[in-house]
Structure 1
Amino acid sequence: MTATPITAQQLPAEWRDFFALTKPRVMSLVIFTGLCGMLAAPGTIHPVIGFTAILCIAIGAGGAAALNMWWEADLDAGMKRTQSRPIPGGRMNPTDARDFGILLCCASVGIMGVAVGWLAAIILAISIVYYAVLYTMWLKPRTPQNIVIGGGAGAFPPMIGWIAVTGDITLMPVLLFAIIFMWTPPHFWALALFVKTDYAKVGIPMLPVVAGEAATRKQMLVYSVLLLPLAATPWLIGGTGAIYGISAIVLSSLFLGLTLPVTFRTSAEGDDMKPEKRLFAFSIIYLFALFGMLVADRLILA
């Protein structure tokens, strides 16, 4: 089924519509993990420079999200979950959304480079291109592994925050990147399982649509199993203390425990999708708690 094309602006856009383009709920997680990467990094950073770095991460993520909404406006119009967004809802001209996104992206990278450092700015630029181009324009409409490869886009913020403090890339920020990268598939597929009809309707080849629910559930288990030792690795290599290490093991075990009922069930057992919704909700709590413990470990044991 072809999504309804977006043709004309029906209502004047308000500041709320521009704000909605930035996907504020997603941005909150980006800001939090970026801040945690900064606070957990060895060394210090001037508060004004640190604030600027986090602001640039937020603006860059918002710009990439705006470009995502601009590019996928026709698809969003065909899905119940997204049809009220500013462009498909008829409140904003697509060109305005595109220009807004480009402005935010360019400003975030430029300010990051001048005020914080060019290595952090380069990684920020890579993360923007990764999400807005590699994932949105290329991977998402072409392969059921889109979220696996594209998951790297959301894994950059803690690395950028770390680099803003240290000025270099070491094993620890790479591990923080890898943890979010491994967390993303079970997190996103939990959502995709209970909104797969939307994706199927507009022709997006999400794994549950293309490979079926059973294959998706098995792959979610694989990533959840791998996440447990990966999340504990910063502790195992001496990069953190026991506060983070024990928390990582407990949280990742709970994550795995919630993945098991998702894996070993079929939709025929009930259409309420409670295990999937429970896992999706916990996956968000998991990431906030895990990175929160990373900072707590650093501050308490410093």
Structure 2
Amino acid sequence: MSEKIAEIGVLYAPFLGGMMVGCFLFGITISQSIIYFRNYKDDSLFLRALVASALLIDTFHFVMVAEGVHNWYLFCKLPQNYAGLAEFHWSLGASILATYLITSMVQALYIMRVYMLSKNWIISGFIGLLSVAQLAFGIFLWEELFETNSLAALHETRGQIGGSVELAATTLCDIAISAALWWYLHKGRTGFANTEKMIDKLILYMVNLGLLTSVASLLTLILWLVMPHSFAFVSLTLIRSKLYCNAMLVTLNYRQTVRTALHGGTTQQTTGRYFQDIDQVEMDSKVYKSSNSRH
């Protein structure tokens, strides 16, 4: 009996590890959300609704993951409930859908920023297709698990195809967003020292946030492919929604620093059309835009 329980513990350890890291990241999400709603009361209704929706969905995700861990580590450890370990528990299905939804929401916001900076429909559309692909194949994988009601579907052909394409599309989408932001920010260089310094900071800041989610998605894909009969990839999957939420919130909360640097510490000559585009990319508040236009 003890050997059986130990085997179960090792198999499902990634779920517990992912939840523990998720607790830490969820705390950061809450604090970043508080900062946002306190400091950006004049943001558009769309942006505030997006942040509120992401926070609610991520909270729902956290609760579902907690219920899943409770199910596997407490309920299913009872001898009469061992069969439940192989089943696709409803809480896991709910958390998966929440992850795909948050990923799509945050990627859509970044794609809007890429378009505002580039005005290029082709590039923005291509990145958008990658985001749609991750959502579509993610739902395909979820349906496969739901229909079979078994975690073993993750290791079957259809499950492997759905999961591989979903993770690959997510990774490529994040990399494409980072590359596009880097390229168009780099093209905006004007030669002024203050401008160059600010652009370098924006590139470092925006690209690093994109690379964070890209690396997480890539590592998940690698674990998925090289350890097909393990749940090792789950530990990263369970924190993916938290990474995306925090990337979005930190970016939005960074706007005040950008505004101060662009309009407080630089000359009017260096704050031309390019930096007006940066303000648009950073989704400035209506009040700030209107007051700035009066000057």
* TM-score (norm: length of structure 1): 0.34
Q: Which of the pair has the greater relative contact order for Cα pairs under 8 Å at 6+ separation?
A: 2
Greater share of helix: 2
